[in-house]
Amino acid sequence: MSDDIEQAQQGLDHAQEANEKHPEHNDRSARRIAVLISILAAALAIADMKEKGAQNDFLAQHISTSDAWAFYQAKTQRWSAVGQQIELLSSLPNAADPDVAKRIATARAEMARLDDDEKTQGRKQLREQAQSLERERDEIGHRYHLFEYVVGALQIAIVLGSVSVVTRIWLLAAAAGVIGGVAAAFGAAVAMGVG
């Protein structure tokens, strides 16, 4: 963000230098462009903060998603181990013995509970939770990338505004205003969840 502020400050410095070097030029136009650059710099600072916030949200959500999938994998390993226990017990010569049959039934009940249990979150619930977290993470990642575009467009607008002061090509200032306005409006829409 300090680079962005520095870039805007350079644009304002260019405007001031141009006024000092060429007092015969229209001072009002340079002042208006300086105000435009200041507004664009403020919009850039806000967009940059939103971009960093979205990036932090994305990273936090990514960690939550990874944790949910890790819990799912751990539960799946326990589920598989119980399944192997059932196979082993069922393959014993005395599998029909009431004690062994009871252990097999208990293991089957445990396997079913590990697979689907609302209270302790079975594999089914963990998978649904992880998939939901993935969708949220992807939405946040999309918002982060949109803010990257907004920041880039505002930087371009500031550069165009700065160059227009030095070159006295007012079409560049107009382009800076249009690009900056569209980028700021788009950034506001993204911040409100419209984008």
- Domain range for 39: 2-191
DSSP letters spanning 165-181: HHH--HHHHHHHHHHHH
Condensed to tens digits (0 to 9), the pLDDT of residues 116-140 reads: 988 888 999 999 999 999 999 999 9
Looking at residue 77, its pLDDT comes to 96
Query: How many domains is the chain partitioned into structurally?
Result: 1
Cβ atoms of 110 and 79 closer than 8 Å: no
Q: Report how far residue 25's alpha carbon sits from residue 38's, in angstroms, rounded to the nearest whole number.
A: 21
Enumerate residue ranges in the chain where pLDDT < 70: 1-2, 4-27, 195
CATH code at position 96: 1.10.287
Looking at residue 38, its pLDDT comes to 92
Residue 98: exposed, middle, or buried by beta-carbon count in 10 A (0-12, 13-18, 19+)?
exposed
